[in-house]
Structure 1
Amino acid sequence: MLQLEMMRRWFDRPLWEMEPADADVYFGKVLRDASPATRKGRASALTVYFQFLELRHAVELYNIVGRRVECPLDEINRPQLSIELQLRVPPSEAEIEALFAGWRQDLAVCRKFAPTARNYAAARLAADVGLRINEARVLDLHDVRWDLGRFGKLNVRHGKGARRRGPKQRLVPLINGADRSLRWFIEDVWGYFDLDHARPGAPLFPSERKNQDGSSCRVTADVFRRSLAKATTKHLPEWTGRLTPHVLRHYCASQLYRGGMSLLAIQELLGHAWTGTTVRYVHVNHTHVEDAWVQGQQRATDRWKGLA
């Protein structure tokens, strides 16, 4: 809706009156210096808007304007977003470890220990098990199920659903060291927020702000993003402005794949509907093809052992 409102303010008329020439001006001149993602997002919003009009209000609008209402975007003026522009190649394992090592040292000298430790723990979940930041912020304390599996699991009740199907629930195993960092946060940090752990709906990552009934508000996604950006600027300056919570998700997928986890297992962990989506999250070393060939030759050699 915000995208449509921005376009309507510029157009200064009802959007259904927009013609291809108007779209040419808006996307070709007004948004010339905008990012490709912004231009693509506005175009997608406009397309959905006209699809809605054509499906629900085509007859009424025809009676009002005297003609058929059509989307002003076509193959000529529709912004295209290449796959290359969407790639989020993550930092190396050494860089991520340097980031979190510096962040841990900040915990001893920071002005507000509990919020800083909370933001650190949420970022670790993104890097260790690929949790989306909006999935983490709505977790309850009781969504941490230590009784499930070998390491414990997170009951992600508000996972991102595909194709507007609503929240998609999944269980995320606390592998890759996520169990240790989360147990530390719950046992040593969570109590600083002065909450009742037995209260239903107590947030796993609470805010310092309180609701009228005395319960704690949930921390917002922007808080997590700003804290990661601040830590990156301080401890990994070469990634300033580029390392986001979603890039940590790509890092998680890449690191687990290099460690031997199958694509199907990573797909289930990240909550993807399609393996093709997971493939785009995995970024391998430049020698990946050569390494795979060497391993294949070694397997072939092993099969012939003892037959000579």
Structure 2
Amino acid sequence: MSADIPATYTAARPAATAEVSRQAWLVWLTSERRAARLTVETYGRDLAGFLGFLTRHLGAEPTLADLARLTPADFRGWLAEAAADNLSNATRAKKLSAVKSFLRYVERDHGIAVAAIGLVATPRARKPLPRALTVIDARAIATEIGEVSDVAALQARDTALFTLLYGCGLRISEALSLDRGQAPLPGSDAPLRVMGKGGKTRIVPVLPLAREMMARWVALHWQPAGDAPLFLGARGKRLDAAIAQKSLRTFRRQNGLPEHATPHALRHSFATHLLAQGADLRAIQDLLGHASLSTTQRYTEVDTAQLMAVWRRSHPRA
């Protein structure tokens, strides 16, 4: 290095390649940030892919000066190429995060700002579709869950609870927060008042079968106080959700049900099966207590996905 050229100028000279800075950045991540080896390898691979795109896009290996001249369209082109390779939004967001981290390093250590990156929106990860059970599996849980226990009271409790979850589309927390005075019993057509998220109350009709199962449970644990917990644990206190989840976990393994057979899957099944039978989407929204119709509309995608799966399995030309 020439003695009359400052080191800071040499480090930031426009001719410096982005690849040299990438290697220096990985060393910095390891030595200064103490990043995990796997993190460094992933970041390095993601950034190498970005620089490879720029090499093809610009026709030459990019320099730090080239990075400063990038536009939002350049970054979007890179993300579009990744999308064309069937990379998910979550994966592309992770790669963009690595690039942003590198460009912050370039600005801090080389004084070269890449303003365009601030105008590039991060791809939003798509929420996974609700995973409903088949009608047969959902019914089996609701009516046969009691087989997990040898105690009559626990059999009645679990059957009443899971029949209520599937029959009314309740969240497990909503069902376990019910008090004795709210028990839907035979001889009444009164709907169930449920306290949902955000303290919002909704009205849900109750199937006769759910009322029957509830009556069997109530008969075995009669409580004089209406504000006593409806579903009790072994120690006489309000049933813990973890205990209910454990019962279902045991049942699904004993009966070969899929791993996504959870209490919340019964709520998804409630909505999906209603939709398949022609129920109005607005009505399902009210029954589930969704604040936004867009949340409920996800179930239409589930129904379509299941229809396409059946078509692919069944059609001779599929």
Global fold match (TM > 0.5):
yes
The answer to whether residue 140 in structure 2 is matched with residue 122 in structure 1 is no
1:264 equivalent to 2:264? Answer no
Relative to structure 1, the CA distance from residue 173 to residue 238 in structure 2 (aligned partners, 3 Å threshold; closer, same or farther) is closer
**Structure 1 counterpart of 2:175, from 130, 136, 153:** 136
Distance 1:130 1:24 in 2: 47
Q: In the alignment, which of 201, 206, 211 is matched to residue 169 of structure 1?
A: 201
Aligned twin of 1:203: 229
**Which ranges of structure 2 fall in alignment gaps of 5 or more residues?**
1-28, 43-89, 91-117, 309-318
Contact 2:159 2:213 in 1 (8 A): no
How many residues matched? 201
What's the offset of the Cα at 1:262?
Answer: 0.4
1:44 aligned residue: none
Deviation digits for residues 256-296 of structure 1 (CA, Å, limit 9, x no counterpart): 1111210111000001001110111342155859xxxxxxx
Contact 2:193 2:201 in 1 (8 A): yes
How has the CA–CA distance of structure 1 residues 287 and 117 changed in structure 2, closer, same or farther, with 3 Å as cutoff? closer
CA distance in structure 2 between the aligned counterparts of 1:93 and 1:278, rounded to whole angstroms: 19
- Picking from 151, 154, 158, the partner of 2:189 is 151
Alpha carbons of structure 1 residues 147 and 116: separation in structure 2 relative to 1, 3 Å: closer
Please give the residue correspondences for 1:137-286 in structure 2 after superposition, counting only pairs within 5 Å.
Answer: 137-144=176-183, 151-157=189-195, 159-161=196-198, 167-174=199-206, 177=207, 179-185=208-214, 187-193=215-221, 195-196=222-223, 198-209=224-235, 216-235=236-255, 237-239=256-258, 241-282=259-300, 283-285=302-304
Identity of aligned residues (%): 28
What is the TM-score with the length of structure 1 in the denominator? 0.55
Counterparts of 1:145 and 1:98 in 2: how far apart (Å)?
A: 21
SS in 2 for 1:111: coil
Query: Per the alignment, do residues 112 and 267 of structure 1 end up closer, same or farther by CA in structure 2, a change over 3 Å counting?
Result: same
1:144/1:152 contact within 8 Å kept: no
- Cα distance change of structure 1 residues 24 and 143 upon mapping to structure 2, 3 Å threshold: farther
Partner residue, 1:82: 126
Partner of 2:64: none
Aligned match of 1:11:
none
Gapped runs of 5+ residues in structure 1? 1-20, 33-38, 40-73, 162-166, 210-215, 290-308
Q: 1:92 to 1:168 in 2, by over 3 A?
A: same
Higher helix share: 2
Give the 3 Å change call, closer, same or farther, for CA 112–81 of structure 1 in structure 2: farther
Q: 1:90 to 1:287 in 2, by over 3 A?
A: closer
Larger Cα Rg: Structure 1 or Structure 2? 2
Supply the distance in 1 between the matched residues of 2:279 and 2:34 (Cα, whole angstroms).
Answer: 47
Q: 2:185·2:212 contact (CA, 8 Å) conserved in 1? A: no
